Amino acid sequence: MKLGFSAEDEAFRAEVADWLAGQMSGEFRDIKGVLGLTVMAERRKEWEQQLGRHRWSCIGWPAKWGGRDATLEQQVIFAEEYARSGAPGRIGHMGIELAGPTILAFGTEEQKQRVLPGIASGEVLWCQGYSEPNAGSDLASVRTRARVDEATGEWVVDGQKIWTSLAQICDWIFVVTRSEEGSKGPKGLTFLLMPLDQPGITIRPIKQINGDAEFNETFFDGARTAAENLVSTPGNGWQVAMGLLAFERGVSTLGQQMGFRHELDAIIAAAKANGAARNPLIRQRIAKAEIGLRLMRYGALRMLSNTDHARPDGAALTYKLQWATWRRNLGELGMDVLGQSGEVTDGTDYDFPMLPSLFLSSRADTIYGGTNQIQRNIVAERALGLPREPRGNA
């Protein structure tokens, strides 16, 4: 399959662009271009619900569950036009792109009927309970425990998750837990859906270098969830977790790249405005950034066009390493273009403009979602077939 856009697709693009432009210049103009995922959280929730009411929230889902049965091409178009419109980052993306597709793939019919409508409507927000203090990029080392209360049939969870994005504004969390005593590695893991609003869960925001608090520590102390919130079977959590991670390399990558386009364009504009564009080294770095962005687009289109999921796809395996390194370098380029003016801000509230914010936020890109070192191991082992790196016994 070769991904391309037909006349019908371009008509769809015009429809999407028109609707988004109307929203961003009308009722929701106050959140256009807002930086940071926790800024204006209540308005962002209203925006998620607006998307749901007009069936733009999860267009790739089946119409039965609130989507539009959109083709891959249409999903790519929507992601690109969404980013181009200046609409804010999706605070519902964990549900739309991860929890929902996972339940569609692994959940029971009852779970689909109970969980999917709330995600599609934007009324129920989800977060991810994967990383732990001693199991960041190595998901197979999780220690959060889950056991069944024989009296009630409920699952009882104890442990800690960290870097839980947007947990403080979410309603539910999907959690990878260790449910078999003495198990190690990917064996003995169980995948649970849990309500966050309960006495056994404590959420502590982590303030970031850019002043935002997108991430959280999440503590489970006898937290409970009903038996029907088990996805798949006990001990099969690794398969579900890996299936979920596969959804992260979906059409949202094209929307992400449109955001990168805005950032690079802002750097070019700043370089022209302050004369930095006359510096041949700056021009060379801008050209390199432009080339890198175009290569990422071609790789993403190839990745999305791949229909043979039985074999490792090089574009998919290298994409995280590629974009994270590129954007970290872009943040450094932005600060070098601004010079000393990029190092100061008015007041004490971390109210940084786009390029200093880009520099600060991009420092984490090569760490979260699998560090660059872990990504290189994945490429070596899964794509190149090299021997596995020795693992400890812990």
Take residue 357 and report the two structure tokens written for it. 């914010």
Let me know if 73 is a catalytic residue: no
**Inter-CA distances, 378 with 176, 243, 294, 385, Å:** 20, 16, 24, 10
Consecutive H or E run containing 98:
none
C-beta of residue 179 within 8 angstroms of C-beta of residue 189: yes
Strand, helix or coil for residue 202 = strand
| Full DSSP string of 125-194 | -EEEE--BTTBSS-GGG---EEEE-TTT--EEEEEEEES-TTGGG-SEEEEEEE-STT--TTTTEEEEEE
Take residue 391 and report the two structure tokens written for it. 């693992």
Give the number of residues written for the chain: 394
Among residues 154, 217, 248, 381, which one is catalytic?
Answer: 248
C-beta of residue 9 within 8 angstroms of C-beta of residue 77: yes
Residues forming the active site: 248
